[in-house]
Structure 1
Amino acid sequence: MSPTPQPDEAPLPVPYMGFEFDSAQRLPLLLCLDTSSSLSQHNAIGSLNSALTGWATSLADDMALSAAVDVAVITFGGKEGITVWQGCTPLGATAPEWPHSPFVPAHEFRPPVLRAEGVTLLDRALRLSMDVVADYKAGLRAEGLTYYRPQICVVTDGVPSDEKGRFSYAYRDLLPDLRKAEEERRFRLFTVGVGERHAGAEGVLQELAPHYHAWLDGFPFAELLTAMSHSAKATQGGAAEAEFQEIFARLKRRRGGGQVPA
């Protein structure tokens, strides 16, 4: 990640200041969203945009979440392949380092309007998501701020690909780091597939997130984002792992998402 933009890149976002909530324990929540061309079918991208708008309003209306949750968005798809967003502002294919951050407090979050095009560079987007979360946590610690265990939610309706759209196993390079991060409780990862089930795609999600993976029928983005809010509240309340499993299991049962995690 580079803190200095090139002349043709977007200007750096304002540094994270925490606004009036900078003394609250922060809860980073990063959405890693598929915006590849396949989401143009069945107006899936329109459903995603609508769900993000409604979710932003619900975050702002919830006093507990608006005071603690910080939101960042990374999309994979489009001409750039990957786009980092600070609210509705695109920052390009790389993320700036602290104190410039894609994360914004929930009450300030304004979602981007996403378009469906391009290929599914899931592995690169997830690696960047992990780096953004790690940098953000380090910045918070440097400022003497505390934080809850971050959440990363990957949502896709396709299979991971290379730049030419061919299936790619590059995501497996992430697995050792993901298992270590899980052991060290660096973040909690959710991987969710939506829409038509493609051969092998559900297995990819399971490899990435053995405890929290699902393939949901249709495009229930609103229900999915609501589940992320419930998980954030559970994190704030110091819930045991069983409560997170139940939140995710309810989401899966609602849309026929497969086996409930043990």
Structure 2
Amino acid sequence: MAGSWWDRDRSQDHTAPNPNVRHDAYADIDFENNAQRLPLVLCLDTSSSMAGLPISTLNDAMRMWAQELHDDVSLSASVEVAVITFGGIGVRAWRGPQMLAPGQPGTPFVPAHAFHAPQFEAAGVTLLTEALDMAMQIVAERKQELRAAGLQYYRPQICLMTDGLPTDTEGQLSDSWHRLGPVLAAEQEKRHFRLYAIGVGGISQQGLDVLRALAPAFHAHLHGFPFKQLLAMMSASANAEQKGAGDEVFEKIFHQFRTQRSAWES
């Protein structure tokens, strides 16, 4: 099947099992749906700088996007959504609207036709590095689960969104993100996933430099908080993935997303 990574992505992912996100064999797999799956991870900054209008806008956009996924016949059958937040109580994975406790079994991925958005609150620090670690880990584990169940999958997608700089647990600026650069480059060279890194609001030039280093091909700065358009871009990218599109198609989708941003700024 065009676009399938069943044969081209059988190599072992670099990540080791994460003790904070355990999965039971075949957990939450919809065996009645044999469609090729497309894991999609939203890795979202919910730190204190997102308080007020930003987090409210994000919550509204997520609710609308969930309904659009339900209504899209193609995406609803194949896309699986997982959400990771980094903010008030650290890095957490969500299964739809339910926050998973550390060590809680079961995959955070929810079929698009059953996905309901969480309700986010903004607080705490920006544990961006740890959030990306978890995003890579749950993608690797989900692919293992799908293979074990005899199901094929498309290249997963991860979307990182932040308005600030990576910090440690005390809120101090951290340079731990530097270790992710070579890892992300190697993982994407092996086509294990595609990463989008989006800076929003008042993110500094230093923050944008971090995103550029993490995602050289797919980084952007959006003044304001056009989360609806960001999620629409992720849907367009998922549709292209289903059709087996080449890299130039994803570059075009992302270029259009970046160049149209001025119409969304407020």
Which of 91, 95, 113 is the equivalent residue of 1:86? 95
Given the two structures, how large is their TM-score scaled by the length of structure 1? 0.89
Shift of residue 3, structure 1, vs aligned partner: 7.8
Which of 154, 158, 162 is the equivalent residue of 1:156? 162
1:17 matches 2:26 = no
Which of 21, 27, 30 is the equivalent residue of 2:41? 30
Local SS of the residue matching 2:213: helix
Indicate if the aligned counterparts of 2:37 and 2:78 stay in contact, CA closer than 8 A. Answer: yes
Count residues in correspondence.
244
Indicate if the aligned counterparts of 1:59 and 1:107 stay in contact, CA closer than 8 A. Answer: yes
AA matched with 2:56: G
Shift of residue 26, structure 1, vs aligned partner: 0.2
Shift of residue 88, structure 1, vs aligned partner: 0.4
Shift of residue 164, structure 1, vs aligned partner: 1.6
Local SS of the residue matching 2:158: strand
Q: Which residue of structure 2 lines up, in the alignment, with residue 177 of structure 1? A: 183
> Looking at both structures, which has the greater relative contact order when contacts are Cα pairs under 8 Å and sequence separation is at least 6?
2
Local SS of the residue matching 2:40: strand
Structure 2 residue runs of 5 or longer lacking an equivalent are 1-17
In structure 1, distance between residues paired with 2:217 and 2:251: 8
Identical aligned pairs, as a percentage? 48
1:66 matches 2:72 = no
Shift of residue 170, structure 1, vs aligned partner: 0.6
Shift of residue 253, structure 1, vs aligned partner: 0.8
Shift of residue 247, structure 1, vs aligned partner: 0.8
Q: Which residue of structure 2 lines up, in the alignment, with residue 51 of structure 1? A: 61
Shift of residue 214, structure 1, vs aligned partner: 0.5
AA matched with 1:17: I
Shift of residue 197, structure 1, vs aligned partner: 2.9
Q: How far does the alpha carbon of each residue in 1:195-250 deviate from its partner, in whole angstroms, 9 at most, with x for none?
A: 01313000000000010001111000000000000000000001111110111111
In structure 2, distance between residues paired with 1:39 and 1:2: 28
In structure 2, distance between residues paired with 1:128 and 1:17: 20
**CA RMSD across the alignment:** 1.8
Structure 1 residue runs of 5 or longer lacking an equivalent are 6-11, 258-262
Query: Cα gap change, 1:223/1:2 in structure 2, threshold over 3 Å: closer, same or farther?
Result: same
Local SS of the residue matching 2:32: helix
